[in-house]
Amino acid sequence: MPVVENTILICAGGACISAGEKSVKETLEEKLQEYSLENVIKVVETGCMGACDLGPIMVIYPEGVFYQKVEPKDVSKIVEEHLLKGRVVNDLLYKGDKGDLTIKPQENIPFFTEQVKIATRNLGVIDPLSIEEYIARDGYFALRKVLLEMTPEAVIEELKKSELRGRGGAGFPTYMKWTLARNSESDTKYVICNADEGDPGAFMDRAVLEGDPHAIVEAMTIAAYVIGAEKGFVYCRAEYPLAIERLTIAINKAKEYGLLGNNIMDTGFSFDLEIRIGAGAFVCGEETALINSIEGKRGVPRLKPPYPSDKGLWGKPTLNNNVETYANIAPIIRNGGEWFAQYGVEGARGTKVFALAGKVKNTGLVEVPFGTSLRKLVFEIGGGIPNGKKMKAVQTGGPSGGCIPMEYIDTPITYDNLKSLGAIVGSGGLIIMDEDDCMVDVAKFFLEFTVEESCGQCTPCREGTKQMHEIMKKITSGEGEMEDLDKLKELGQYIMDTSLCGLGQTAPQPVISTMKYFWEEYLAHIDEKKCPAKRCKALTRVVIDKEKCVGCTACARVCPVNCISGEVRKPHEIDPDICTRCGSCITVCRFNAIDKVSP
């Protein structure tokens, strides 16, 4: 058998695939065959490596050279230069702010070095389709320990010591959930994994399912043993076909290896797992709506109590945790609850996976201890704001959360701290916005989302959010009045007080929090009929400076709606009624003659 000389890890997380990973991998395999290297060089597709903006990523071992933004055309250089001649391909290395090259950014830049990976421990390291690689990284050892050495009470005790709280949004202590489900008496119980990750800007559950599916299988089996369940369901959204595919493979492999199904590890304990697929309804992330959906009904939330731990799926006691929560279970069992609790701060122990998106240089997934400041996340780990712009706000918690302005950037992230700022940790999505983003527009945008995603069961949520959205539309089109702001506050309070589930109870949050921190922006829209960020279409014009325009026609050619007219070598003009404010003309103009203005 030939000795493997190099192992090439290619990130096959969802983001890298959508950036063209598949054709890179195919080209690489072709090239390796061309040079008869296919037996000495091993190519492994891993789960998400985290740094989405650098994708597709390729890391070559034993050296650990990190190549970014690899395109099929780069592959022959990698094979011919790096693999055959041992020369690093400089063009594809990570480039720092000043153009400095780094061979191993994973050991040098804060995006990687400041992370503590527990839930995401195997992401980007192993082949998610290989159960052997999962086992080689201590996989299924926690399950073995639980089944052979621990009582259910002892497992719960470790969870209690770990102070793990639910990572899906509500932050309920996990040990308590498990205790309640365990103490409910019934001959049948169920374990559910909530993989209906719907918060805009959150994608850690997707990454875990795609990159380390066995972690979920193992943790759910442990949960089943603890509460006394024999059947479990993973409810995954249909928007994640790759996660469904890889989890299905993991479930089948685990069964084949006797780690799932009948008589697991010869202990007499049996547990089986099935995936149920959603069909595009955000509200199904709410646990009782999710249960209704698994039961084949419309996904509308149920009244609580009874809580799912008493009466859940088909009326039986049910334990429901989200993906990231489950991903923490095996390490806690292996290393002990106290080990986990050494990370983080009072009230928020352990680590949290955050998804960085929006106007930040390093987009992607990062796992850091609780208590890390927003500043560190955005400016150190995230690398700051691109294009020399200023940060305006960080949106956390999706449509249930709020916007945190720059003045609170030093806040350590904990459940309580973010709550006191009118935001939430939520599922961990952080959307960073810069000076070009209009906060009124952002709030309107989230309302549009809740209007569409409200299940319609509670009138205040169904009709109230619609009315709020109408008011927001009025304000952003320059027709707002001062009394609209009072109406927004009043309506928002009603909706929060009288809705059944978390969706309605938090739907007005984006409006409330932007009104709190960006009051002047609302006033500018209403009083001055002006959008300071020049984002709201009705309050913004794109104009050509006649002094600067040389009539090169570049703008007219690029305009998608043909709204720019003028003769060659004479100043051009934009018809504001047709113009969509897309800004394409601003980008192509080489004379800086075009700009957005808000009167």
Partner 1 sequence: MSRDEIRKTVEDIYVRVSNESLEKGDVLLNTLHEIQDHYNNFIPVEAAEELHDITGVPLSKIYEVLSFYTMFSTEKRGQYVIRICKSLPCHVDGGAEVVEALKEKLGIDFGETTEDGVFTLEQSSCLGLCGVSPVMMINEEAYGNLTPEKVKTIIDDVKDGKRSDVNA
Chain residues that interact with partner 1, rule: CB under 8 A? 14-15, 17-19, 22-23, 51-53, 55, 197-203, 205-206, 231, 233, 238-241, 272-274, 276-282, 293-299, 314, 355-359, 363-365, 395, 398, 429, 431, 433, 437, 442, 445-446, 449, 453, 455, 560-561, 580, 582-584
CA 51 to each of CA 88, 89, 141, 242, 274: distance values in angstroms, whole numbers, following the listed order: 21, 20, 29, 19, 31
Instruction: Considering the complex, state which of residue 17 and residue 109 has its C-beta at the smaller distance from partner 1.
Output: 17
Residue 60, token pair as written in the block? 């070559």
Smallest distance from partner 1 to CB 194, Å: 14
154 three-state secondary structure: helix
Report the candidate in 300, 510, 303 with the shortest Cα–Cα distance to residue 403: 510
515 CB neighbour count, 10 Å cutoff: 20
Smallest distance from partner 1 to CB 279, Å: 3
Report the candidate in 69, 89, 6 with the shortest Cα–Cα distance to residue 41: 6
Residue 80, token pair as written in the block? 């011919």
Instruction: Considering the complex, state which of residue 512 and residue 550 has its C-beta at the smaller distance from partner 1.
Output: 512
Instruction: Considering the complex, state which of residue 82 and residue 535 has its C-beta at the smaller distance from partner 1.
Output: 535
Tell me which H or E stretch contains 195. strand 190-195
Helix/strand/coil percentages in the chain, nearest 5: 45, 15, 40
Instruction: Considering the complex, state which of residue 314 and residue 519 has its C-beta at the smaller distance from partner 1.
Output: 314
Smallest distance from partner 1 to CB 8, Å: 21
275 three-state secondary structure: strand
Is residue 51 within 8 Å of 381, Cβ to Cβ?
Answer: no
Is residue 405 within 8 Å of 517, Cβ to Cβ?
Answer: yes
Instruction: Considering the complex, state which of residue 370 and residue 446 has its C-beta at the smaller distance from partner 1.
Output: 446
CA atoms within 13 A on the CB side of 316: 16
Smallest distance from partner 1 to CB 3, Å: 34
Instruction: Considering the complex, state which of residue 182 and residue 206 has its C-beta at the smaller distance from partner 1.
Output: 206
Is residue 24 within 8 Å of 71, Cβ to Cβ?
Answer: yes
- The alpha-helical segments, DSSP class H, found in 518-598 are 519-527, 554-558, 584-588
Do strands 231-236 and 190-195 pair parallel, antiparallel, or not at all (unpaired)?
Answer: parallel
Smallest distance from partner 1 to CB 492, Å: 19
Instruction: Considering the complex, state which of residue 175 and residue 446 has its C-beta at the smaller distance from partner 1.
Output: 446
Q: DSSP class of residue 408?
A: G
Instruction: Considering the complex, state which of residue 449 and residue 517 has its C-beta at the smaller distance from partner 1.
Output: 449
Smallest distance from partner 1 to CB 561, Å: 8
The whole-angstrom separation of Cα 449 and Cα 468 is 12
Smallest distance from partner 1 to CB 151, Å: 27
Residue 182, token pair as written in the block? 């365990």
Smallest distance from partner 1 to CB 483, Å: 28
Smallest distance from partner 1 to CB 48, Å: 9
The whole-angstrom separation of Cα 367 and Cα 369 is 7
Report the candidate in 395, 307, 323 with the shortest Cα–Cα distance to residue 357: 395
387 CB neighbour count, 10 Å cutoff: 8
Instruction: Considering the complex, state which of residue 82 and residue 444 has its C-beta at the smaller distance from partner 1.
Output: 444
Smallest distance from partner 1 to CB 356, Å: 8
Instruction: Considering the complex, state which of residue 159 and residue 195 has its C-beta at the smaller distance from partner 1.
Output: 195
Smallest distance from partner 1 to CB 40, Å: 28
Smallest distance from partner 1 to CB 378, Å: 14
Residue 369 makes CB contacts below 8 A (sequence gap 6+) with: 116, 343, 344, 345, 350, 351, 352
Give the N- to C-terminal CA distance of the chain in Å, as an integer: 74
Smallest distance from partner 1 to CB 261, Å: 11
Instruction: Considering the complex, state which of residue 328 and residue 363 has its C-beta at the smaller distance from partner 1.
Output: 363
Is residue 484 within 8 Å of 474, Cβ to Cβ?
Answer: yes
Smallest distance from partner 1 to CB 566, Å: 22
Instruction: Considering the complex, state which of residue 154 and residue 277 has its C-beta at the smaller distance from partner 1.
Output: 277
Do strands 41-46 and 6-11 pair parallel, antiparallel, or not at all (unpaired)?
Answer: parallel
Instruction: Considering the complex, state which of residue 158 and residue 197 has its C-beta at the smaller distance from partner 1.
Output: 197
Is residue 299 within 8 Å of 455, Cβ to Cβ?
Answer: yes
Do strands 429-434 and 564-565 pair parallel, antiparallel, or not at all (unpaired)?
Answer: unpaired
Instruction: Considering the complex, state which of residue 22 and residue 596 has its C-beta at the smaller distance from partner 1.
Output: 22
Is residue 391 within 8 Å of 378, Cβ to Cβ?
Answer: yes
Dmax over CA atoms of the chain, in Å, equals 86
Smallest distance from partner 1 to CB 204, Å: 9
Instruction: Considering the complex, state which of residue 84 and residue 279 has its C-beta at the smaller distance from partner 1.
Output: 279
CA 570 to each of CA 408, 541, 544, 565, 577: distance values in angstroms, whole numbers, following the listed order: 49, 21, 12, 10, 22
Do strands 58-61 and 65-67 pair parallel, antiparallel, or not at all (unpaired)?
Answer: antiparallel
